[in-house]
Each structure stands twice: as structure tokens, then as C-alpha cells.
């Protein structure tokens, strides 16, 4: 017998390392749907359907290429429920000479993999995941000896190495970063083109029935499921984005609007994270649109920075800092998640909009995740472990290597500044500037105290006051600290009392 080649649910790429050199006459691919992976966090129903359906489609594509696949379904009566259990059963069935796997996307899974050789008594070859543009040893070399690991400097090196948006004498346009141009609010009457959608085919429909029956209590609805589940569909989503939305991606990257969940975003994270799309292909398609004069530089640079910069950077950081990173709680936050995050009543329109669309689509774009839920979690001092679990649970693209640094690092500063040099804290004014949420809100964004005052305002000043000592050491926090210190003591007390009343009130009722 040849080798048993393991392909996990987020490794659905035909060039995945575990399949390299496969001998279809001797080797077998193992793919297994297991309860342990479906339940280690209470995933959104759409995420479960997405991963299981994409796995089933990928197995069919392998078979069509003549590659034998041993595929274990979730409802197989002998299914042990764990990856290790299914591997042991497959070893007993096929008696392979060894196991070949690809480096996983989570510390938890790597830990399990490391024990397999001993448990199974077979050689286990864990190969590097070559789908990323920055190999992990390369990231470690970049990080070595640096006092600060800022994304911007990593990104510039990646641009040079990948040769993306480069002229012979430096970055195209003379600047590395055009973020300052990417902060427009959506003007009334601007109509983002509807994204490409895929109604469920019979395979997806079968998985939807399974998920509806097995996970009825999980967060989210399935009605609007339209995620790409094959590489061909993922490529169609990318092409649709490049043709219809990329040109305004930059301008409206930070905008938010009620009833417009996607705006000009790409909707490619699920496909990238499952392996249906390659990061290089996304960047090259965007650059080609720029070179052909179909998209401006601020849009294309912004898009490439997200993928070549942020995406590669957070992955490198995750593997550099785990497992300790998951336990960091630099701001000593410990408040439980409020019920409103799981769909409970709230008068805060910004939160209501983001949670509602998350329930319906398993999607929110970056600024919604960062500046609405993330900002609220930061200001209210929500427990990092619960915040992390929520983000892992509710988004279709959530995999720990990318979710955890974004949550603990970028959104709630639990890592004490490893990723962001200062907390992304904002009052209601930011949300009012970048969205129309406040116009339709029961609270008054211009008020900081009183029964109708926007909670983000008092929470913001309470947050700054709560961490005054810690932030004194951070020059980037000088401005809010100065304002706080100049504030009349009565005003400061009133703001803190307002925040305390909100935090003790019905909006913060913990999860039922
Ligand atoms: P676009 O806005 O169109 O961006 C294009 C691509 O760039 C994305 O598909 C993604 O692959 C990449 N990208 C953009 N921003 C980031 C970032 N900060 N980190 C890594 N990649 C980025 N992204 C995930 O893929 N999975 C997650 O679980 C996840 N959790 C997040 C949690 C928080 C608190 C925050 C603030 C961000 C999180 N992100 C996560 C990053 C980002 O919000 C999503 O990648 C993006 O919203 C996906 O939608 P899109 O494909 O339309 O992205
Ligand atoms: Fe959110 Fe405050 Fe605006 Fe209401 S007023 S939408 S709570 S920021």
C-alpha cells in the first residue's frame, strides 16, 4: 500500500502540499467530516454548510481526476467524531506505509497532528502549506530582532519580493500606501452592484438539510446561503468583483450603510481561506485591472495590501506567538458578552445592523467587525475569550489563524500592542462619520450624557479614563489623554456614571 494523504476542510486546493507527488494507483486521499470540528465552537449554520459542501465538491473533483478518495460523511454511523479517530480507522482500512498531511490552520489541530506518529506507529509527513505568499520561516526571519512588528514594513518587503505593483525604481505611483484616500462615506444614491450569488446545487442542498437537522440551535439562518463552494464559483466571484466593484473598493473601503452589507467589498475571504482561490491570483487580477486602466491605484493598492499585507502578516504573527497569544488579556477585560450579540434586543442601531446581517449572511465587512462590534467590545471591556469565540462562531470565513490576531490584536487590544500601536477606540462620532446608522438610531450620537445619549460616547471616555495610567506610556494616546485631563471633573464624573449605568443596564444583559 502507498500513502494516506489527508486533506482538511480548509485545504481544498488541487496544489495542496499533501497531494504533491500523489500516485493514484497506490495512494488514497482521506477526507472526513467530523463532529469535533463542527462543534469546537458553535459555528454559524452557513459556515457549516459552506465547509461541508465545499469538501464534498472537492472530493468529487479529485475522483474525476482519477484520484481515489475515502470520504467520511458526518452522518456515517461509524464516524468517531474526531479527526484522529477517523485517521486511525482509515489506517486500519488501508494499511498505508505513511501519512502525508499539510500544515493546518490552527494550533489546536497541529497539536493533535504532532501526536499521530506515536499513536498510529507510522511516519507522518506534515508539509508546509505553500498556498501562502510568505512561508512561515520567512516571516520568522522578518520578525527576528525587531522591537515592533508593524504590518506596513512587512508589507513593503512583500511587495518587493512578490513584484506586485512595483516599477523598476519603487512602488507604482511613488507611494506604498494610499489608505488616506480610502475613507469616503457612501453618498446617498450610490448603488453598489449586487455581488455574484450561487443558489444551492443538490450537493449543497443535501448539506443544508443535514445542518438544519443536526444544528438547529446554532446562530444564523440558511435562507440566503449563496457562498461559492467550488474553485470555479470562487473564480467567478473574483471576476465579478474585479469587473464591477474593485474600481470603487478603495473609496468606500471604510464606509458602512444600513441595508448594504457588501458595498464594494470582494467577498473572497471564504474562498481564500478554504483554498478555492489563491492569494496571488487575487492580487494579480487586481493589478491587471489597474495596468489596463480599469481600476484606480488607491483601490488596487488597498485590495492588494489586505491580501499580500494583512492576511500574510496575521498568519505569520499567529504562528509566531501561539499558543500564548490566545490567552493574552492586556486590558484585563472580563465582562461577559451581551445578549444583543446573539440577536437579543438592542437600541443601538449600529450593533443591530451588524448582528442582523451577520445572522443572515455570516458576513460583515472589515470596518463593521473592527469599528462596530470590535470597538464596542474594546470600550465595554468584553472578555477576550468570549469575543474570540463569537467571531469564530459567526463568520463564514473564520479560521483561527486569521480570526484571532484580528480580534485579540486589532479589535480589542488584548495583545497589548503587538499588532496595533494603539487601540482602535472610537466614540459614536466615527460611526456617524462613516455610516448612516446614527440617523436611524434611538440614541443621539451628539449626546454623551442623558437618557438618549449614544452609549459609545460615554463608553469611550470611560475606557480612556479606566486605562489612563497604562496609556500614559503611549505617545499615540496623548491626544485623548490630554482632552480627558482638561475635562472638568464634573463632566468626567458624569461620563463615567453614564457608562457605568449603561454597563449595568438591560442592553448588557449577558448571553442567555
Ligand atoms: P475585502 O474587504 O474585500 O478584502 C479582500 C481580502 O483581503 C479579504 O477577503 C481577506 O482575505 C483580506 N483581508 C482584508 N482584511 C484583512 C485582515 N485584517 N486580516 C486578514 N485578511 C484580511 N478575515 C478572515 O478571513 N477571517 C476571519 O475570521 C476574520 N475575522 C476578523 C475579525 C475582526 C475583529 C476583524 C477586524 C477582521 C477580521 N477579518 C477576518 C478580516 C476582514 O474583516 C475579512 O477578511 C473581510 O471582511 C472579508 O470580506 P471580503 O472578502 O469582502 O474582504
Ligand atoms: Fe451606534 Fe451611537 Fe450611532 Fe446609535 S448613535 S448607531 S449607538 S454610534
Residues 53 and 174 in one domain: no
Distances (CA, A) of 330 to 84, 273, 327, 417, 467: 35, 29, 10, 9, 11
Residues 12 and 142 in one domain: no
Q: Quick one: which ligand is closest to 358's CA?
A: 1
Residue nearest to ligand 2 atom 3, measured at CA? 438
C-alpha grid cell, residue 360: 443572515
Exposure of 377 by Cβ count < 10 A (0-12 exposed, 13-18 middle, 19+ buried)? buried
C-alpha grid cell, residue 233: 464559483
Is-cis flag, bond preceding 11, omega within 30? no
Residues 120 and 142 in one domain: no
Residues 307 and 351 in one domain: no
Q: What pLDDT, in 10s, does the model give residues 121-171?
A: 999 999 999 999 999 999 999 999 999 999 999 999 999 999 999 999 999
Q: What pLDDT, in 10s, does the model give residues 440-471?
A: 999 999 999 999 999 999 999 999 999 999 99
Q: What percent of the chain has pLDDT over 90?
A: 97
The rounded Å distance from CA 459 to ligand 2 centre is: 12
The rounded Å distance from CA 106 to ligand 2 centre is: 35
- Give the pLDDT band of residue 114 (cuts 50, 70, 90): very high
Exposure of 251 by Cβ count < 10 A (0-12 exposed, 13-18 middle, 19+ buried)? buried
- Give the pLDDT band of residue 339 (cuts 50, 70, 90): very high
With respect to residue 16, please indicate whether it lies within any of the assigned structural domains.
yes
With respect to residue 213, please indicate whether it lies within any of the assigned structural domains.
no
Q: Where are the alpha helices (DSSP H) in 262-335?
A: 269-274, 279-291, 297-304, 312-321
Q: Quick one: which ligand is closest to 445's CA?
A: 2
The last residue of one of the domains, among 127, 154, 171, is 127
Residue nearest to ligand 2 atom 5, measured at CA? 445
With respect to residue 227, please indicate whether it lies within any of the assigned structural domains.
no
Closest atom, ligand 2, to C-alpha of 348: 7
Best mutation site among 280, 397, 403 for ligand 1 pocket (most ligand atoms within 8 Å of CB): 397
Residue nearest to ligand 1 atom 11, measured at CA? 269
Residues 119 and 251 in one domain: no
pLDDT (0 to 100) of residue 102:
98
Closest atom, ligand 1, to C-alpha of 364: 47
Q: How far apart are CA 438 and CA 454, in angstroms?
A: 9
Question: Is residue 454 a contact partner of residue 374, using CB atoms and an 8 Å limit?
Answer: no
Residues 291 and 406 in one domain: no
The rounded Å distance from CA 457 to ligand 1 centre is: 27
Cross-strand bridge partners of residue 6: 30
The rounded Å distance from CA 457 to ligand 2 centre is: 9
Confirm or reject: Cβ of 437 under 6 Å from ligand 2: yes
Residues 145 and 122 in one domain: no
Output the domain CATH number for residue 63: 3.40.50.620
Task: Work out the number of other CB atoms within 10 angstroms of the CB of residue 167.
Answer: 9
What is the pLDDT of the chain when averaged over all its residues?
Answer: 97
Confirm or reject: Cβ of 272 under 6 Å from ligand 1: yes
Mean pLDDT, rounded, for 301-329: 98
Residues 162 and 309 in one domain: yes
The rounded Å distance from CA 269 to ligand 1 centre is: 6
Confirm or reject: Cβ of 456 under 6 Å from ligand 2: yes
The rounded Å distance from CA 213 to ligand 1 centre is: 30
The rounded Å distance from CA 366 to ligand 1 centre is: 6
Residue nearest to ligand 2 atom 1, measured at CA? 350
Q: How far apart are CA 120 and CA 428, in angstroms?
A: 56
Confirm or reject: Cβ of 310 under 6 Å from ligand 1: yes
With respect to residue 289, please indicate whether it lies within any of the assigned structural domains.
yes
With respect to residue 230, please indicate whether it lies within any of the assigned structural domains.
no
Q: Quick one: which ligand is closest to 395's CA?
A: 1
The rounded Å distance from CA 446 to ligand 2 centre is: 9
Of 456, 219, 259, 495, the closest CA to residue 339 belongs to 219
- Give the pLDDT band of residue 344 (cuts 50, 70, 90): confident
pLDDT (0 to 100) of residue 245:
97
Confirm or reject: Cβ of 431 under 6 Å from ligand 2: yes
The last residue of one of the domains, among 127, 150, 168, is 127
Residue labelled with grid coordinates 440614541: 443
Q: What residues make up the domain containing 417?
A: 339-508
Closest atom, ligand 2, to C-alpha of 431: 8
Cα atoms found within 13 Å of the Cα of residue 379, Cβ hemisphere only: 26
With respect to residue 210, please indicate whether it lies within any of the assigned structural domains.
no
Confirm or reject: Cβ of 227 under 6 Å from ligand 1: no
The last residue of one of the domains, among 127, 159, 187, is 127
Q: How far apart are CA 57 and CA 384, in angstroms?
A: 36
Question: Count of domains in the chain?
Answer: 3
Residue 5: strand, helix, or coil: strand
Task: Work out the number of other CB atoms within 10 angstroms of the CB of residue 7.
Answer: 25
Overall size of the chain counted in residues: 512
Residues 48 and 148 in one domain: no
CB contact burial 344-374 (16+ within 10 A = b; e otherwise): eebebbbbbbbbebbbebbbbbbbbbbbbbb
Between 344 and 326, the higher pLDDT residue: 326
With respect to residue 231, please indicate whether it lies within any of the assigned structural domains.
no
Output the domain CATH number for residue 278: 1.25.40.80
With respect to residue 487, please indicate whether it lies within any of the assigned structural domains.
yes
Residues 444 and 493 in one domain: yes
Q: What percent of the chain has pLDDT over 70?
A: 100
Closest atom, ligand 1, to C-alpha of 266: 3
On the question of pLDDT at 512 being above 70, the answer is no
On the question of pLDDT at 511 being above 80, the answer is no
Confirm or reject: Cβ of 430 under 6 Å from ligand 2: no
Q: What pLDDT, in 10s, does the model give residues 345-392?
A: 999 999 999 999 999 999 999 999 999 999 999 999 999 999 999 999
Helices 231-244 + 279-291 axis angle, to 10:
30
Q: Where are the alpha helices (DSSP H) in 410-454?
A: 428-434
Residues 348 and 490 in one domain: yes
Residues 155 and 303 in one domain: yes
Closest atom, ligand 1, to C-alpha of 262: 52
- Give the pLDDT band of residue 14 (cuts 50, 70, 90): very high
The rounded Å distance from CA 432 to ligand 2 centre is: 7
The rounded Å distance from CA 395 to ligand 2 centre is: 23
Q: What is the CA radius of gyration of the chain?
A: 24
Confirm or reject: Cβ of 443 under 6 Å from ligand 2: yes
Question: Is residue 381 a contact partner of residue 466, using CB atoms and an 8 Å limit?
Answer: yes
pLDDT (0 to 100) of residue 86:
98
Output the domain CATH number for residue 398: 1.10.579.10
On the question of pLDDT at 264 being above 80, the answer is yes
Closest atom, ligand 1, to C-alpha of 397: 26
Q: What pLDDT, in 10s, does the model give residues 193-207?
A: 999 989 999 999 999
Q: What pLDDT, in 10s, does the model give residues 44-95?
A: 999 999 999 999 999 999 999 999 999 999 999 999 999 999 999 999 999 9
C-alpha grid cell, residue 24: 493514484
Best mutation site among 185, 354, 371, 431 for ligand 2 pocket (most ligand atoms within 8 Å of CB): 431
Residue nearest to ligand 1 atom 9, measured at CA? 269
Amino acid at each position: 500500500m502507498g500513502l494516506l494523504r489527508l486533506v482538511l476542510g480548509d485545504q481544498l486546493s488541487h496544489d495542496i502540499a499533501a497531494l504533491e507527488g500523489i500516485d493514484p494507483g497506490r495512494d488514497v486521499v482521506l477526507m472526513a467530516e467530523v463532529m469535533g470540528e463542527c462543534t469546537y465552537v458553535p459555528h454559524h449554520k452557513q459556515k457549516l454548510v459552506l465547509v461541508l459542501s465545499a469538501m464534498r465538491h472537492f472530493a468529487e473533483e479529485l475522483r474525476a481526476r482519477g484520484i481515489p478518495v475515502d470520504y467520511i460523511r458526518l452522518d456515517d454511523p461509524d464516524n468517531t467524531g474526531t479527526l484522529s479517530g477517523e485517521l486511525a480507522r482509515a489506517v486500519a482500512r488501508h494499511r498505508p506505509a505513511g501519512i502525508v498531511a499539510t500544515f493546518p490552520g490552527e494550533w489546536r489541530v497541529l497539536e493533535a497532528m504532532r501526536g499521530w506518529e506515536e499513536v498510529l506507529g507510522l511516519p507522518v509527513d506534515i508539509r508546509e502549506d505553500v498556498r501562502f505568499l510568505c512561508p512561515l520561516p520567512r516571516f520568522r526571519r522578518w520578525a527576528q530582532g525587531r522591537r515592533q512588528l508593524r504590518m506596513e514594513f512587512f508589507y513593503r518587503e512583500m511587495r518587493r519580493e512578490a513584484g506586485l505593483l512595483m516599477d523598476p525604481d519603487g512602488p507604482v505611483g511613488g507611494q506604498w500606501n494610499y489608505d488616506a484616500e480610502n475613507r469616503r462615506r457612501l453618498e446617498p444614491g450610490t448603488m453598489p452592484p449586487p455581488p455574484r450569488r450561487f443558489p444551492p446545487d443538490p450537493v449543497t442542498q443535501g448539506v443544508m438539510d443535514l445542518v438544519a437537522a443536526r444544528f438547529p440551535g446554532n446562530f444564523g439562518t440558511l435562507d440566503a446561503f449563496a457562498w461559492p463552494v467550488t474553485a470555479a464559483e470562487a473564480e467567478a466571484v473574483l471576476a465579478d468583483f474585479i469587473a464591477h466593484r474593485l474600481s470603487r473598493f478603495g473609496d468606500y473601503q471604510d464606509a458602512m450603510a444600513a441595508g448594504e452589507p457588501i458595498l464594494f467589498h470582494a467577498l473572497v475571504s471564504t474562498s481564500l481561506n478554504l483554498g478555492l482561490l489563491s492569494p496571488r491570483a487575487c492580487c494579480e487580477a487586481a493589478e491587471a485591472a489597474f495596468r489596463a486602466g480599469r481600476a484606480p491605484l488607491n483601490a488596487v493598492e488597498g485590495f492588494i495590501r489586505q491580501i499580500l499585507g494583512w492576511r500574510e502578516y496575521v498568519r505569520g504573527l499567529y504562528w509566531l506567538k501561539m499558543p500564548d497569544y490566545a490567552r493574552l488579556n492586556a486590558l484585563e477585560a472580563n465582562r461577559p458578552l451581551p445578549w444583543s450579540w446573539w440577536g437579543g434586543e438592542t437600541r443601538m442601531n449600529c450593533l443591530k445592523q451588524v448582528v442582523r446581517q451577520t445572522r443572515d449572511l455570516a458576513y460583515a465587512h472589515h470596518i463593521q467587525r473592527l469599528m462596530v462590534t470590535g470597538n464596542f467590545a474594546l470600550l465595554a471591556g468584553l472578555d477576550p475569550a468570549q469575543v474570540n469565540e463569537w467571531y469564530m462562531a459567526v463568520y463564514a470565513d473564520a479560521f483561527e489563524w486569521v480570526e484571532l490576531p484580528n480580534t485579540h490584536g486589532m479589535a480589542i487590544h488584548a495583545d497589548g500592542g503587538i499588532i496595533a500601536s494603539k487601540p482602535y477606540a472610537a466614540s459614536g462620532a466615527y460611526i456617524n462619520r462613516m455610516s448612516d446608522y446614527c440617523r436611524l438610531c434611538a440614541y443621539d450620537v451628539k449626546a454623551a450624557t442623558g437618557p438618549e445619549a449614544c452609549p459609545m460616547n460615554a463608553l469611550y471616555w470611560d475606557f480612556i479614563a479606566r486605562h489612563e495610567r497604562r496609556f500614559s506610556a503611549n505617545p499615540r494616546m496623548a491626544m485623548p489623554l490630554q482632552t480627558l485631563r482638561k475635562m472638568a471633573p464634573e463632566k468626567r464624573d458624569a461620563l463615567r456614571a453614564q457608562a457605568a449605568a449603561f454597563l449595568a443596564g438591560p442592553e448588557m444583559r449577558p448571553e442567555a
